[in-house]
Amino acid sequence: MHRKTLTRQQLKTIVRASIHPGIGIARLGNSPGEYVISPDTITPQWVSAGSRHDASGAIKRQAARFRIYGYNLENEVVGELTLDDAEIEWRAHVVNRKAQWFEFEKAMDIEDAAHTQLRLRNADRVGAERDALVIDAGARTVSGRAVSGPAHEFAGGTFLGMPVALGELRTDESGRLLVLGGHGQGGSPTGMPIFDPDVSNHFANATGWFDDTSDGPVWAAVKINGVVIPVESAWVVVAQPDFSPNTVGWRTLYDLLTDTYLASGWLTPPERPSFSRDVLPIFQRLSGLQWVNKGFATLFGQGAPFDFNNPLLLAKLSRADETFSHLRQAVFNAFRGASNAVHEPRTWPWLYGDTFGAEQESAHDHLAPSPYRSQLLKRWVKGEFHADWTPDHKPPAHLDDVNLADQPAMLDQAALHFCLADAFHPGIELSWPMRHISLYRAPFRIKGLPEDQPLPDFGPVLDQTLALAVDGPLYAQPPGGLSRWMALPWQVDAVGCRSGYDADYDPYLPTFWPAGVPDQVLSEADYHASTDMTLPREQRVVAFNRRVYWGRKLRGSFIDQATQLVGDMARVGVIEARPGVENDPDLPAIMMVESVSGGQSPVAPLAPDLRRGAKLSLSDIERAGWESQEQCDEFRRIVRRENI
């Protein structure tokens, strides 16, 4: 199915237009020339082996693609507007304000932050020196078919006088906008360390450092037959790479935003939940995490007791009658309650919450379903849902397969579906401000600061009252207003926030964001062993269930590992799809396998190679991926700010 040029009559009915997705996500990559395009649906084709590296082994950038849809007086979608139908000129403005913003310590909207006061990053720089901390090359425009070049690059911005490029604008063959971010540039022009253990709250707040993440508004000027059509603007975020692009987090950024809109009355919940649309993802995402965390693989993976991809189990859970009502109750009881009144790591999901790292233990150290998702589960337990699951359902892999009326909403969802919500510590793509309705002018539309309006000055210290104040930093956003809350540089969060901090409890659980920053993965060697039909089946099953620590090529102290990742983001692997084994209860037909730079495996896995008969007994610390107890203690001290 291919897009058809709109007729003259259709074009006459268009009174307004809107850019979709409302919030687009681009991602960094260190490949100098190659890139991929962000997903257009929530069920795209698998990212296959080797597709995210170029021939040199560098990681490709991900471009955010924006489309324009025309609407009639009845607010119905008439069609997508391209250069076949209209004159289109795009404009965008991305900025990095991290080094000029306040330090990250914790989410400022939680109870634990009531007495927290955040200092400015690089507080000793004032006046013109402070302005020099912002990387801003100004807005850029582009129009036409398949256009690119220096005129459309976000070049010319500097950090403390050092040139820093933040990406570029391009168009595709139909004139749609492509926004590409930076190449993973980061560092300190003055030679400051990425982490100083002697400086309070230096984690995620590297003095004198920059990275090349960014965000900002996207506009379009549209004329149809010479008539100007008003266009609703969008926003683009340039985030870190997605190291497991086929894995969906247990709570996505899209989930978080829809929860926010539902709580504010901007969206209306369905009268009767759908099992397939509303309930099933809560379960299946637990099973999806089998590819990035050994603990999740043990209980929710292929052949495990709660493999939520198993059609036999789903056939029971999807029934709304009394036959398997107690099974529904048992599964419901395994989840943490929305009120989350008890500090309990054993309940589902096994993920850290916003307060992990706080001075004292909190019930919110672990993630809980939102009130809305919890209500969905309660209605499911009672049998109050549409039993609409079928084992042969195939969702659309391409936007062309989606009904025209649903395409704008699909684009809005797809952009955020592969982004992660909490724990906001501070997060992967974006942080805690995203759950505040004041940030938006409409669903999936960031409230932008007018270009002619000066940036507000919030002073030298940000406390909870100021952070949440009317017309404060959670209201109209300047370019760079969303990414400024994130870790500086992003690599420290990717290195520091992982699983296995309490190996005495469990070497793999709980964890942070394994869907974006994996913990334990299926190595290429174990993949080949598990699919080698010349080997005994038992040996293949053993190989499949073995996992190796994803970050094992990063060695040494926290400073060492973070510095190594800054130097080369391709030092760690990307988890991609490969053919598995058909019709085997313990070996899936599609396997998510670590692909590494240049096809070369990282350093030898810490786990013993059972195929060679090794008998090495690993401690819980080693199984978790730590080089030593001392290394684990160091990381825990940094992330949790503990004295161990």
**Angle between helix 558-567 and helix 629-640 axes, rounded to 10 deg:** 80
Place of tokens 């810490």: 606
How far apart CA 393 and CA 135 sit, in angstroms, is 47
How far apart CA 590 and CA 48 sit, in angstroms, is 10
- Is there a contact between 372 and 259 (Cβ–Cβ < 8 Å)? yes
First-to-final CA distance of the chain = 60
pTM of the complete model: 0.95
What is residue 358's predicted lDDT score, i.e. its pLDDT? 65
- Is there a contact between 91 and 221 (Cβ–Cβ < 8 Å)? yes
- Is there a contact between 372 and 271 (Cβ–Cβ < 8 Å)? no
Angle at 121 between CA 159 and CA 181, to 5 degrees: 45
Q: Give me the average pLDDT of each 10-residue run along the chain (644 residues).
A: 81 98 98 97 96 96 98 98 97 98 95 94 95 98 98 97 97 98 96 92 95 98 97 98 98 98 96 97 98 98 97 97 97 88 85 79 85 96 97 93 97 98 94 98 98 95 98 98 98 92 89 96 97 97 96 94 95 97 96 79 37 50 88 87 54
* Cβ-defined contacts of 628-632 (< 8 Å, 24+): 631/557, 632/500, 632/501, 632/503
- Nearest CA to 181 out of 303, 294, 35 is that of 35
What is residue 62's predicted lDDT score, i.e. its pLDDT? 98
Residue 62 has, within 13 A of its CA and on its CB side, a CA count of 24
Task: Reply yes or no: is the peptide bond before residue 217 cis, omega within 30 of 0.
Answer: no
Residue-wise DSSP of 525-566: HHHHHHT-TTS-HHHHHHHHH--EETTTTS-SSHHHHHHHHH
